[in-house]
Copies of this chain bind each other. A is one copy, B any other.
Amino acid sequence: MTVNSRPARPVILGQNQYGKAENRVVKITRDGATHHIKDLNVSVALSGDMDDVHYSGSNAHVLPTDTTKNTVFAKAKEHGIESAEQFGIHLARHFVTSQEVIHQARIRIEEYAWERIESSDANSRFIGADEVKHSFVRKGQETRLTQITYDGEKWEVVSGLKDLTVMNSTNSEFWGYIKDKYTTLQEAYDRILATSVAAQWRFNWTDDEQKMPHWEKSYEQVRKHMLQAFAETYSLSLQQTLYQMGSRIINNRSEIDEVRFSLPNKHHFLVDLEPFGLKNETADGAVYYAADRPYGLIEGTVLRDGCEARIPVDMTNL
């Protein structure tokens, strides 16, 4: 058996972090017969004075990942879950302030939205329609995201979403591009533009002294502006649409300084029906083949002028 003592110099430890990932915490709040639900997937990553556990296996500085899991559930009871962001802030503050060896906490949260089931009318001989306020159906559209990072002094909050699939069935063109020896693509003057939005946006709230944004309202507004910018941009390229989406957010939401997008171009190809004697013209309402792979992938950062880009390029990876 090997004695894993501190190794000789040739190999050193770099950035490291650990914690319990994907804690599936659901909090019900009861306001009389009316219930509310918060449904989160919380991942904890802690960094600090962790050389020994890597070099020798000493766990003297290690708060077990099982404890970080327990903490997530206990804090959900202690503080409730007002928003994913606020909950992440409670958690990050706890880990950094309660253990000296932990210097930084990063909390990543996915949130799943639910909506109420509409009660029935005629059928309400069962339970009166108005009385059912505890029944929900998962919304199933985008997954909401947030990442809270805290080092004991400064906060970084990056929120976002993924898997929000959108489509414009017209008002998209693509032409005037470079043609090299491998180019066969025909120019398009009326095409479908569809993408599955993955976006992350960074707040300029960094300090407990600052007034905290209203996280829930901010999310709803950012989402609305993104969708509207997508819908209302007459697009000559997906890059242009990306910039418009980011720009709309920055211009309308003063609490946000930076947005990063990863936009797959979900190709819808016009099917060639000429061999069967059929016209398949865009203007008449056409038949498309929705392709899986490969897909164009357009990624970019949009920034408030004068602000530093801090969202890692690889964070929105598909």
Residues of B within 8 A of A58 (CB): 176, 236
Residues of B within 8 A of A4 (CB): 233-234, 236, 240, 244
Minimal Cβ-Cβ distance residue in B for A36: B285
A160 at the interface (CB under 8 A from B): no
Q: How far is the CA of A18 from the CA of B296 in the complex (A)?
A: 7
Minimal Cβ-Cβ distance residue in B for A122: B252
Chosen A-B contacts, 27 in total, with CB atoms closer than 8 Å, are A10-B304, A11-B247, A12-B303, A13-B303, A14-B300, A18-B299, A20-B295, A23-B289, A24-B294, A26-B290, A28-B286, A35-B169, A54-B243, A56-B240, A59-B174, A64-B177, A67-B184, A67-B185, A77-B271, A117-B230, A117-B231, A120-B224, A120-B228, A124-B232, A138-B167, A140-B142, A140-B163
A268 at the interface (CB under 8 A from B): yes
Are A302 and B11 interface neighbours, CB within 8 A?
Answer: yes
Of residues 217 through 274 on chain A, the ones whose CB sits less than 8 Å from some CB of chain B are 224-225, 227-237, 239-240, 242-244, 246-248, 250-252, 258, 260, 264-265, 268, 271, 273
Are B290 and A54 interface neighbours, CB within 8 A?
Answer: no
Are A54 and B287 interface neighbours, CB within 8 A?
Answer: no
A208 at the interface (CB under 8 A from B): no
A210 at the interface (CB under 8 A from B): no
Q: How far is the CA of A233 from the CA of B260 in the complex (A)?
A: 41
Kindly supply a per-residue 1/0 record for chain A positions 274-305, scoring 1 wherever the CB is within 8 Å of any chain B CB and 0 otherwise: 01101010011111111111111111111111
Are B135 and A168 interface neighbours, CB within 8 A?
Answer: yes
Q: Which of B15, B50, B124, B275 contacts A239 (CB 8 A)?
A: B50
Kindly supply a per-residue 1/0 record for chain A positions 119-132, scoring 1 wherever the CB is within 8 Å of any chain B CB and 0 otherwise: 11001111100001
A53 at the interface (CB under 8 A from B): yes
A83 at the interface (CB under 8 A from B): no
Minimal Cβ-Cβ distance residue in B for A299: B17
Are B28 and A127 interface neighbours, CB within 8 A?
Answer: no
Closest chain-B Cβ to A290's Cβ sits at a distance in Å of 4
Q: How far is the CA of A239 from the CA of B174 in the complex (A)?
A: 43
Are A293 and B296 interface neighbours, CB within 8 A?
Answer: no
Residues of B within 8 A of A232 (CB): 2, 119-120, 123-124, 126-127, 132, 135
Given contacts A137-B165, A297-B43, contact A287 B14 (CB under 8 A): no
